[in-house]
């Protein structure tokens, strides 16, 4: 947890309290100051890493009391410590782990990181192309229909279409004959024998005589004059509006067709105004332009994809060359260590082949083959190695990798599964060799391993009414003697077991 692995409230001993995990590491300046400078962290020779988890499962991480995110914490941890748990031995059968072993030995971390960036870019470009092609397929499926609708709206000449004016004109044309008859009748009522204007003229003469006699009637004369003028204007306007009006069947048919077309478009598209149709036409034209833009984008992304594929092949080839150059020495180093672990006849082969398709691990497939006995054929490690042999092969791998990685600490959690007797002594000797270059912490049930350590801690559980606690205590020389004797023969060890433990410690 303190090295950046996932954590939640399930790990809490007391669900109502905050959990704090803290570790202190020695961080030599030459090796670690660049990391601290990179993330603007306070450098200390003794670096304290802290992880806090609240009762809701939320966690925070700190390096020398400065908050960091988990990716930064993991990056630091990769240079501090390696923890090998028991189940990790099964990883040795996996292709990606075997490639990681070769890459670590080849010291190709930089080129592998560059390759993975190029590969991620390749995947991102492929995803972009797939999305564009899906959009293009959908747009193409609608293209013909959208084109038809756009053409239909474009031919309707919508900008010049005025429904109100067109409908009013059509009403006039359809009623042209009736309007002319009414206009003639209207005009005849204003002029001629006994018409309105004739009667008003006679009345105006009478009004003029009245005003001559008395000025009080002069306003009446003026009002009658205004009425005559207004009525003359009305008669002239009726005549002007109807004099040019003729029944025009061609114009009527044209207007009817235009109105039918516009009303049909409004009904078809569920619109209420011509302006709505204009907006729809604009949207359809944009969708047609979008299809053309998609074609251009697809062509551009295809070019990007070609470049990305070339980059993956180029950088991947460099990674493959680094692997090929490291395999021979890696195989020799593993075989030497296996010989020290009583696997004298064991032979190791990393079979590197070009993969059909690039993966995030590179351009290669790899298979770890072993021949454990003289004359036996090389076989896949998962078919030919026992549990104890797998443990020793993994220990040999870890030994080589840890020596080249520059780690401060390595933890072996029951890596000795399946071994005993003299082989256990040899495993312990190999761990002793590793401990000359880094701190080695080993969790074991084998007395041979426990006796070889420079410091012995006992881990045990203690049960009380309020629950069970796991504890760890350092052992002095006498306590250590008893513990190893108990590992040899159980509780209340015999004198022979104690003597055997003393010999192991000596």
pLDDT at 479: 93
pLDDT at 119: 94
Q: Could you tell me which residue, 323 or 391, shows the higher pLDDT?
A: 323
Residue 185: which residues within 8 A CB-CB, separation 6 or more?
none
Residue ranges of the alpha helices (H) in 370-455?
Answer: 381-384, 387-405, 421-435, 447-452
Q: How many CA atoms lie within 13 A of 280 on its CB side?
A: 23
* Closest-CA residue to 395 (of 447, 333, 349): 333
Strand ranges, E, within 281-361: 347-359
Residue ranges of the alpha helices (H) in 21-162?
Answer: 29-38, 70-77, 95-106, 109-155
Taking the C-alpha atoms of residue 281 and residue 279, their distance in angstroms, rounded to an integer, is 5
Structure-block tokens of residue 332: 């020799």
Residue 264 clears pLDDT 70, i.e. is over it: no
Q: Which of 33-37, 150-154, 367-371, 470-474 has the lowest mean pLDDT?
A: 150-154
**Burial grade of 128 (CB within 10 A; 0-12, 13-18, 19 or more):** middle
pLDDT at 335: 92
Q: How many CA atoms lie within 13 A of 260 on its CB side?
A: 6
373-413 pLDDT per residue, tens: 888 888 888 777 777 788 788 888 888 877 666 678 888 88
Residue 194 clears pLDDT 60, i.e. is over it: no
* Closest-CA residue to 333 (of 99, 80, 82, 101): 101
Q: Which of 84-98, 145-159, 269-283, 315-329 has the lowest mean pLDDT?
A: 145-159
CA distance readout (Å), 130 to 123, 280, 306, 391: 10, 29, 14, 45
Structure-block tokens of residue 117: 């960036």
Residue 193 clears pLDDT 60, i.e. is over it: no
Taking the C-alpha atoms of residue 203 and residue 364, their distance in angstroms, rounded to an integer, is 118
Residue 138 clears pLDDT 90, i.e. is over it: no
226-262 pLDDT per residue, tens: 877 777 777 766 666 665 656 556 666 666 666 666 6
Cα(first)–Cα(last) distance of the chain, in Å? 37
Share of the chain above pLDDT 90, in %: 24
Q: Please say whether the beta carbons of 474 and 483 come within 8 A.
A: no
Q: Could you tell me which residue, 103 or 277, shows the higher pLDDT?
A: 103
Taking the C-alpha atoms of residue 265 and residue 278, their distance in angstroms, rounded to an integer, is 11
DSSP secondary structure of 131-149: HHHHHHHHHHHHHHHHHHH
Residue 336 clears pLDDT 70, i.e. is over it: yes
27-78 pLDDT per residue, tens: 888 888 888 988 999 899 999 999 998 877 788 999 999 999 998 998 888 7
Taking the C-alpha atoms of residue 223 and residue 50, their distance in angstroms, rounded to an integer, is 106
Structure-block tokens of residue 40: 């603007």
pLDDT at 319: 94
DSSP secondary structure of 470-494: EEEEE--HHHHHHHHHHHHH-SS--
- Say if strands 66-68 and 59-63 run parallel, antiparallel, or are unpaired: antiparallel
443-483 pLDDT per residue, tens: 888 898 899 899 999 999 988 887 788 899 999 999 999 99
Taking the C-alpha atoms of residue 316 and residue 319, their distance in angstroms, rounded to an integer, is 5
pLDDT at 172: 62
Q: Please say whether the beta carbons of 106 and 32 come within 8 A.
A: no
CB contact burial 481-496 (16+ within 10 A = b; e otherwise): bebbbbbbeeeebeee
Share of the chain above pLDDT 70, in %: 75
Q: Could you tell me which residue, 219 or 253, shows the higher pLDDT?
A: 219
Q: Please say whether the beta carbons of 245 and 180 come within 8 A.
A: yes
Q: Could you tell me which residue, 8 or 368, shows the higher pLDDT?
A: 368
Q: Return mean pLDDT, the chain.
A: 80
pLDDT at 261: 66
Structure-block tokens of residue 401: 């990798």
Residue where the block lists tokens 């803290």: 22
Q: Identify the three-state secondary structure at position 51.
A: strand
Taking the C-alpha atoms of residue 128 and residue 301, their distance in angstroms, rounded to an integer, is 8
pLDDT at 290: 60
pLDDT winner (highest mean) among 81-95, 286-300, 337-351: 337-351
Q: Which of 252-256, 357-361, 431-435 has the lowest mean pLDDT?
A: 252-256
Residue 154 clears pLDDT 80, i.e. is over it: no
pLDDT at 293: 72
Identify the H or E element spanning 84.
strand 81-84
Residue 342: which residues within 8 A CB-CB, separation 6 or more?
422, 423, 426
- Say if strands 457-464 and 467-474 run parallel, antiparallel, or are unpaired: antiparallel
What residues form DSSP beta bridges with 26? Answer: 46
Structure-block tokens of residue 73: 């914490």
* Closest-CA residue to 11 (of 62, 51, 66, 70): 51
Q: Please say whether the beta carbons of 396 and 334 come within 8 A.
A: yes
195-217 pLDDT per residue, tens: 676 677 777 777 777 777 777 77
Cβ neighbours, 10 Å, residue 387: 11
The dihedrals phi and psi of 110, each to the nearest 5 degrees, come to -65, -45
Taking the C-alpha atoms of residue 140 and residue 138, their distance in angstroms, rounded to an integer, is 5
């Amino acid at each position: 947890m303190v090295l950046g692995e996932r954590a939640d409230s399930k790990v809490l001993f007391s669900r109502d309290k905050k959990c704090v995990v803290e570790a202190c590491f020695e961080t030599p300046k030459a090796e670690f100051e660049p990391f601290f400078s990179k993330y603007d962290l306070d450098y200390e020779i003794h670096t304290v890493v802290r992880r806090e988890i609240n009762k809701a499962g939320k966690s925070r991480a700190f390096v020398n009391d400065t908050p960091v995110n988990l990716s930064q914490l993991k990056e630091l941890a990769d240079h501090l410590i390696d923890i090998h748990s028991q189940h990790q031995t099964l990883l040795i059968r996996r292709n990606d782990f075997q490639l990681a072993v070769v890459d670590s030995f080849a010291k190709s971390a930089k080129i592998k990181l560059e390759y993975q960036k190029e590969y991620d870019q390749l995947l991102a470009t492929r995803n972009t192309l797939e999305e564009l092609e899906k959009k293009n397929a959908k747009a193409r499926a609608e293209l013909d229909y959208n084109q038809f609708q756009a053409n239909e709206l474009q031919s309707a000449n919508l900008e010049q279409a005025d429904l109100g004016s067109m409908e009013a004109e059509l009403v006039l044309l359809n009623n042209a004959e009736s309007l002319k008859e009414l206009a003639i009748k209207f005009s005849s009522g204003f002029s001629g024998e006994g018409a309105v204007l004739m009667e008003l003229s006679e009345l105006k003469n009478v009004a003029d005589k009245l005003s001559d006699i008395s000025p009080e009637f002069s306003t009446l004369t003026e009002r009658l004059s205004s009425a005559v003028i207004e009525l003359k204007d009305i008669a002239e306007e009726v005549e002007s509006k109807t004099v040019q009006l003729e029944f025009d069947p061609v114009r009527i048919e044209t207007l009817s067709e235009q109105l039918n077309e516009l009303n049909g478009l409004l009904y078809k598209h569920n619109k209420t105004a011509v302006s709505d149709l204009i907006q729809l036409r604009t949207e359809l034209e944009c969708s047609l332009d979008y299809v053309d833009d998609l074609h251009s984008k697809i062509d551009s992304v295809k070019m990007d994809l070609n470049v990305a594929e070339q980059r993956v092949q180029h950088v991947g080839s460099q990674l493959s060359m680094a692997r090929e150059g490291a395999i021979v020495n890696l195989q020799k180093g593993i075989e030497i260590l296996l010989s020290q672990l009583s696997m004298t006849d064991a032979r190791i082969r990393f079979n590197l082949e070009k993969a059909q398709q690039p993966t995030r691990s590179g351009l290669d497939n790899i298979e770890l083959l072993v021949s454990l006995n003289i004359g036996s054929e090389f076989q896949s490690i998962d078919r030919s190695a026992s549990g104890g042999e797998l443990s020793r092969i993994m220990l040999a791998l870890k030994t080589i990798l840890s020596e080249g990685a520059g780690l401060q600490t390595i933890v072996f959690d029951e890596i000795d599964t399946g071994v005993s007797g003299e082989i256990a002594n040899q495993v312990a000797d190999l761990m002793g060799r590793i401990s000359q270059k880094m701190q080695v912490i080993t969790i074991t049930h084998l007395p041979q391993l426990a006796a070889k350590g420079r410091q012995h801690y006992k881990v045990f559980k203690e049960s009380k009414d309020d629950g069970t606690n796991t504890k760890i205590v350092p052992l002095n020389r006498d306590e250590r003697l008893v513990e190893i004797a108990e590992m040899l023969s159980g509780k209340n060890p015999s004198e022979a077991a104690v003597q055997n433990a003393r010999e192991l410690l000596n």
